[in-house]
Amino acid sequence: MEVYDLLVLATESAMALAGFAGIIATFQFRAQERVRRADAVGLTIIVVFSLLAAVQCGLLLILHVLGVEETSIWMTGSILAAALNIYHFSRFLKNIDGSIRNSRLLTIMWILQLASVVIFVANMLNAFNVVFHREPGPVLLSLAYSMFLAGYMFSRLLLIPIWRIVHKQNSADKPKTATSDSPEAV
């Protein structure tokens, strides 16, 4: 499989992921009066990361079709990837405040942001022809990372509401245990 085939595949996957997320969100939040901030941030990550990855792939494919030299394509791809990483990181810092209360999830999100910084550095090195020599690797890594984050948030969007219902049902099904303060304990 050629690298440009991977770009086509990434574009198609990104569009499908954004589309399915929109469908799920429409049905999930339709009857709710309140939407949790974490759900809104997660949906935003899915849609924005997916669509920006698709745009990046599309631009690189257009450059390829126009006959632009490969090293110029990957330099451009690395500059785009680095710019998108800066955008993603700035949005993360803006949206993280108050959206995550679970310390384990917060730790995971900061680890993912650390990975974003490493990918940013790799793309900058690739763009400036240092260590990497204007090759597709850092660009594809950035696209894979964006798609991984969008996929992770997609799975959360899909599964967390289901688990909330399961936990609520389990809580309702459990027999109430008598405590010393309750009338049943006497």
Residue 184 pLDDT exceeds 50: no
- pLDDT above 70: residue 149: yes
What range defines the domain where residue 162 resides?
3-167
* Of residues 30, 32, 82, 84, the one with CA closest to residue 55: 84
Instruction: Tell whether 176 is covered by a domain.
Output: no
Q: For the segment 68-117, what is each residue's pLDDT rounded down to a tens digit?
A: 999 999 999 999 999 998 988 888 777 776 666 778 877 888 888 899 99
Number of domains comprising the chain: 1
Q: Does residue 172 lie in a domain region?
A: no
Task: State the Cα–Cα distance between residues 121 and 30, nearest whole angstrom.
Answer: 41
What integer best gives the mean pLDDT of the chain? 85
Global pTM reads 0.80
Is 106 a domain residue? yes
Q: Is 12 within a domain?
A: yes
CB of 26 closer than 8 Å to CB of 35: no
Q: What is the C-alpha separation between 176 and 167, in angstroms, rounded?
A: 15
| 44 occurs within a structural domain | yes
